[in-house]
């Protein structure tokens, strides 16, 4: 899979993609992440990427030209399956969207900044608009890192048995059950006996019941889906 991130702040994304699971996924060749600095696609001498909003008002708007130059340069080599625009007024990101995106070959993620992009980019170039929640970030970069992380760990071969995505929260519309590790007794705080029983069927049943209970209490809406 190829993920192309288009941003005015590529430095902000260096670190998230260069550690742990995302780093190993790239080393194994399962995903290639390409960061594109929007300024490199500006044609004017000041390398501008934004301009005042027509009609007035505070805040700058990301211009058509650098974004279109960038998308067209990238698309001339390979068509994208999705051009995703990161914006607080997009569709709420979810595990089911992550699952869907993880099956694609090539995606572009455009990070919004300032007051956002010229609406014509959204009308004519963007195929999906994504938000990561009902709060406002300074830019789309951290949200793009969140979305990319959720996608990349689902690509076949990225996770091994120990980190398997099958038992994640949300994967079956249930939150994950509680987990414990050694010691079995830490200063009188004890691990549930069932987990020490060695009875796999009993443990599996307990985990399922705990997941259902936890979901009922914390996220009842998930159980209706």
Nearest distance in Å: CB 189, ligand 6GU: 37
Residue 94 vs 199, nearer CB to ligand 6GU: 94
| CB of residue 196 to ligand 6GU, shortest distance in Å | 42
| 8 A C-beta contact, residue 198 and residue 206 | no
Which residues, 6+ apart, have CB-to-CB distance to 179 below 8 Å?
A: none
Task: Please state the closest distance from residue 115 (CB atom) to ligand 6GU, in A.
Answer: 10
Residues of the shown chain interacting with ligand 6GU in the complex, contacts defined by CB under 6 A:
86-88, 112, 130-133, 135-137, 139-140, 143
**Nearer Cβ to ligand 6GU, position 151 or 159?**
151
Closer to ligand 6GU by CB, 8 or 211: give it: 8
Nearest distance from C-beta of residue 166 to ligand 6GU, angstroms: 27
Residue with smaller CB distance to ligand 6GU, 98 or 143: 143
CB of 218 to ligand 6GU, least distance (A): 21
Question: Please, which residue, 85 or 174, has the CB nearer to ligand 6GU?
Answer: 85
């Amino acid at each position: 899979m190829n993920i192309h991130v288009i941003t005015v702040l590529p430095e902000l994304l260096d670190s998230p993609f260069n550690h742990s699971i995302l780093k190993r996924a790239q080393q194994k060749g399962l995903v290639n992440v390409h960061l594109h600095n929007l300024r490199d696609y500006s044609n004017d001498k000041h390398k501008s990427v934004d301009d005042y909003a027509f009609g007035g008002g505070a805040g700058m708007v990301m211009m058509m030209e650098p974004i279109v130059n960038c998308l067209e340069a990238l698309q001339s080599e390979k068509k994208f399956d999705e051009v995703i625009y990161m914006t607080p007024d997009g569709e709420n990101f979810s595990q089911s969207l992550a699952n869907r995106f993880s099956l694609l070959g090539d995606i572009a993620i455009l990070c919004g900044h300032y007051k956002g992009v010229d609406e014509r980019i959204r009308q004519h170039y963007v195929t999906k608009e994504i938000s990561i929640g009902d709060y406002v970030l300074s830019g789309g970069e951290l949200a793009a890192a969140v979305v990319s992380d959720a996608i990349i760990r689902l690509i076949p071969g990225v996770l091994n048995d120990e980190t398997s995505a099958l038992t994640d929260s949300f994967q079956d519309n249930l939150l994950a059950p509680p987990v414990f590790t050694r010691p079995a007794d830490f200063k009188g705080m004890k691990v549930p006996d069932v987990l020490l029983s060695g009875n796999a069927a009993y443990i599996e049943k307990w985990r399922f019941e705990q997941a259902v209970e936890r979901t009922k209490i914390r996220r009842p809406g998930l159980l209706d889906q």
